[in-house]
Structure 1
Amino acid sequence: MKHIAIIGECMIELNGKPFGPMQQTFGGDTLNAAVYLCRGCAANVEPERIQVSYVTALGRDPLSQGMISRWQQEGLDTELVLCDEQRSPGLYLIQLDEQGERTFLYWRNQSAARYLMQHPDIDQIKTALTDVDMVFLSGITLAILPEQDRMELLNLLAKLRQQGVEIAFDSNFRPALWPDDHHVTVKTIYEAMYRLTGLALVTFDDEQQLWGDPTPTHTLNRLKKLGVQHCVVKIGADGCLVQGDDTSAHTVATTPVAQVIDTTSAGDSFNGGFLSAYLAGYGLIESCQRGNQLAGTVIQHRGAIIDPIYTQAALLSQ
C-alpha cells in the first residue's frame, strides 16, 4: 500500500452573492486535492493500494466535527487531524463572474491550521510522517504559517526527504498571503522548497507572475535546475507540460470544454487526479491525462468539490 500525507488548511466556504443566495460548504487547495485523490483511487484497478491522510488542525466546534465526518465519508484518513482547543477553521467567500472566474474574501488569521506547528501534539505528526511514502503540500500551506513555523516545516521536510519520503509541491502562489516584500520572501522560501521537491505540480500563470518566466518551458527548465526530478507545469486549457527523469518534455493536451462554469478547483482537482494515478504506478503522461480529465469535469460545475457522481463518470470514462 502507498501512503500519502497531505498538509494544509481547510476552511468553511461560502459561495454566492453577498446578502443574496449563498451555499455553505468547505474547501481549501490541499483538501480539495485530497478529496479528488480519494475519488481517483476508487477508479483504480486496486483502490486499496493508496491511503490518503490529511494533516491539519481544526477546532471542537460543530463545523470542524462536521468537516471531519464528511472527509471520512470521502475515504480520507483523519488520524492526523489535530484538535485545537482555542481556535476554529477559517472562512472564505467566493464570488463568481459571468465567465466563471472567481474572487475571494478570507477570514483566516486566527484559524487553527495556521498554528498547526505550535500544537502540543505536533511531535506525533512528525513521527507519523516518517512512515509515509509521500508528503504533499502547497504554497498556501507555507504562506499561512508564521515565519518560524514555516522554517520548522521546511526543516521537517528536509529530514523526511533524507529518510526516503517523496516530497510533492504545488507552488499555488497567492500574493495576498505574503508580506509587502513577497517577491523577495516567497522566492527564497520557494527555492528552498523546490530543492526538497521530487514532484512539482505547478501552474504556469503562478510561476510567471512570481518569476517572470516567458514560457512554460522556461518554468520547467528552472525547476529541473533546482533539482526537481518530476515536473508538471499546468497551462490551463492547453493541458500541461511534463518532464521526468529524461531530457524530453511532453505536452499532454486536454479535451476542449464547451462551457466553463467555475474554475475554482481546476488545479486542485488536477493534482488529485494526477496523484491517484501516479501513486498507483501509472506513468507521468497517463497521470497527467487523468488530471486533465478530472479538472475538465470539475470546471463544468459550481463549487470546489463537486458531486461525486460527476467525477466518477469522468474517471470511469477515461
Structure 2
Amino acid sequence: MIELNGQPFGSMQQTYGGDTLNAAVYLARAAKQQPVAIHYVSALGDDALSEGMRKRWQQEGINTEWVLRDSTRSPGLYMIQLDEHGERSFLYWREQSAAKYLLQHSEFAAVAEALRSMDVLFVSCISLAILEPGDRQHLLGLLQTLADAGVEIAFDSNYRPRLWPQDQGQTVRQVYQQMAERCDLALVTFDDEQALWGDSDYQQTLARYQRSGCGKVVVKLGAEGCVYQDFASMTQAELVPTQAVQQVVDTTSAGDSFNGGFLAAYLSGASLSQACKQGNGLAGLVIQHRGAIVAKDLTRSYFNSINKDY
C-alpha cells in the first residue's frame, strides 16, 4: 500500500508499507547474508506508483515475480497520524485495491501452484480480512492444500476490527480458528488475542493454539517482550524480555519488524529463544523512528552492533 505519514494539510511523507510487506523487508535486511530466498505475493496496478514500489522491493532483495499487475485497479492507500506518545491512528482507502482482488486475477492459479515449492509461507490475517468471503475461503482451502503438501505455514493474527463487520464476530473467530488449524508457527500479539477472544492472560492464548494443533507459538507482549512455546518439546512457555526504549516515536511497524527479525533467525536455524531476541531487538530499534520501514543505514548499524554479518 502507499503510505502517507504526517499531519493532514501539513508536512506529509509518502512511502509504502503494509504488514506482510514490512515483515518481508525486515526479513530481507536481517537475512542479508543468509541463503533465504524471499518471494512476495500480492497485486499492484500498472501505474507509476506501483512500478516505483515494485522496484524498491526488488532493491531490498525481495523477489517480485509473484506480484501480479492489475490494469483495472490501483494500490491501496493509508495515512498514519501519530500522537505525542508515538501511538498511531489510521485512515484507509483500499476497497478497490488490486490486492483485494488478488485471488480473482487470471494469473493467480500459476502463483498458487508455485507456492508448493516454498519451504515456509507467511500469512497475515489482514490479508484474509480484505478479501471477499468467497476468495477468503479459497485462500483457506489453498493453505490447507499447501500444509498437506508439507509447506510450513507461519501466521500473524494481526486483528483489525474495522476490517470485519461488527455483526460478524462469530465469522471472524471461525476464520481465525481455521487459520490456526493450518499453521505450524503462530506469531501473535496478546492485545489482539485478548480483543478477539477475551483472553485474560497469555496462557489462555497458548492453550487455545495448542488445542488447534499449532506446533509453535510466539505471543508478543509489547514492552514486556514476548513468550514462546514449542508444544512438542516444552512443557512451559518461556519469556524473552526486551530492553527498555528511551523514547518511542512510532509503533506503526513494531509487530511487523519483530516478525521479520524473528523469521530471519528462525529460517537460519536459530533457536526460538534466539529468534525472539532478534525480533525484540529489531522492533525496539524500529519504534524509535518514524514510518513503517526505517532507513537501511539504521538496520545495518543495528545488525553490525550485534555482530551479525550484514
Into which bin does the TM-score normalised by the smaller protein fall? over 0.9
Question: Aligned pair 1:19/2:5, yes or no?
Answer: no
Aligned to 1:7: none
The whole-number CA distance in structure 1 between the counterparts of 2:96 and 2:255 is 26
User: Which of the residues 32, 36, 51 maps onto 2:22?
Assistant: 32
8 Å contact from structure 1 (residues 290, 315) kept in 2: no
Instruction: Note if 1:97 corresponds to 2:83.
Output: yes
Q: Tell me, in whole angstroms, the C-alpha distance in 2 between the residues paired with 1:203 and 1:313.
A: 27
Report deviation, 1:315. Answer: 2.1
Instruction: Please list every run of 5 or more consecutive structure 1 residues that lacks an aligned counterpart in the other structure.
Output: 1-10
Q: Which one-letter code corresponds to 1:235 in the other structure? A: L
Supply the distance in 2 between the matched residues of 1:159 and 1:224 (Cα, whole angstroms).
Answer: 21
Counterparts of 1:128 and 1:26 in 2: how far apart (Å)?
Answer: 26
Say whether residues 1:198 and 2:198 are aligned partners.
no
1:131-163 alpha-carbon deviations (Å, 9 max, x no partner): 000111111000000000000000000000000
In 1: Cα distance, 2:212 partner to 2:102 partner: 28
For residue 261 of structure 2, what is the amino acid of its counterpart?
G
CA distance in 2, matches of 1:83, 1:260: 37
Give the equivalent residue in structure 1 for 2:301: 313
CA distance in 2, matches of 1:269, 1:316: 17
- Structure 2 Cα separation of the partners of residues 52 and 280 of structure 1: 13
1:317 Cα offset (Å): 2.1
1:220 to 180, 186, 206: 206
Distance 1:314 1:219 in 2: 31
Q: One-letter code of the match for 2:221?
A: I
Deviation at 1:215, TM superposition (A): 0.5
Q: Tell me, yes or no, if the aligned pair for 1:201 and 1:232 is still in contact at 8 Å.
A: yes
Report the secondary structure of 1:137's partner residue.
Answer: strand
Where do residues 172-183 of structure 1 align in structure 2 (5 Å cutoff)?
172-183=158-169
Number of positions where the alignment pairs a residue of Structure 1 with one of Structure 2 = 304
Higher mean Cα deviation, 244-253 or 28-37? 244-253
Name whichever of 264-273 and 247-256 sits farther off: 247-256
Asked if residue 70 in structure 1 is aligned to residue 60 in structure 2, the reply is no
Normalising by the residue count of structure 2, what TM-score does the alignment of the two structures yield? Answer: 0.97
1:160/1:249 Cα in 2 relative to 1: closer, same or farther (>3 Å)? Answer: same
Question: What CA distance in whole angstroms lies between the structure 2 residues aligned with 1:176 and 1:316?
Answer: 39
1:115-264 aligned at under 5 Å gives the runs 115-244=101-230, 245-246=232-233, 247-264=235-252
2:264 is the counterpart of 1:276: yes
> Distance between the aligned counterparts of 1:145 and 1:312, measured in 2?
35
- Give the AA of the match of 1:285: S
* 4+ residue segments displaced more than 3 Å: none
Following TM superposition, by how much is the alpha carbon of 1:71 offset from its aligned partner in structure 2, in angstroms? Answer: 0.2
CA distance in 2, matches of 1:132, 1:197: 14
Separation of aligned partners in 1, 2:54 and 2:147: 29
Deviation per residue, 1:201-238 (Å, 9 max, x gap):
00000000000000112111111111110100000000
1:295 alignment counterpart: 283
Q: Distance in 1 between matches of 2:299 and 2:169?
A: 37
Matches within 5 A, 1:107-122: 107-122=93-108
TM-score (norm 1): 0.95
Q: Is the 8 A contact 1:135 1:165 kept in 2?
A: yes
1:126 & 1:317 partners in 2: Cα distance?
Answer: 39
SS at the partner of 1:104?
strand
Tell me, in whole angstroms, the C-alpha distance in 1 between the residues paired with 2:242 and 2:193: 20
Matched-pair identity in %: 58
Gap runs ≥5 in structure 2: none
The root-mean-square deviation of aligned C-alpha atoms, in Å, is 0.7
The one-letter amino acid paired with 1:145 is L
The Cα offsets for residues 31-55 of structure 1, whole Å up to 9 and x where unpaired, read as 000000000102xxx52x1000000
Secondary structure of 1:237 counterpart: helix
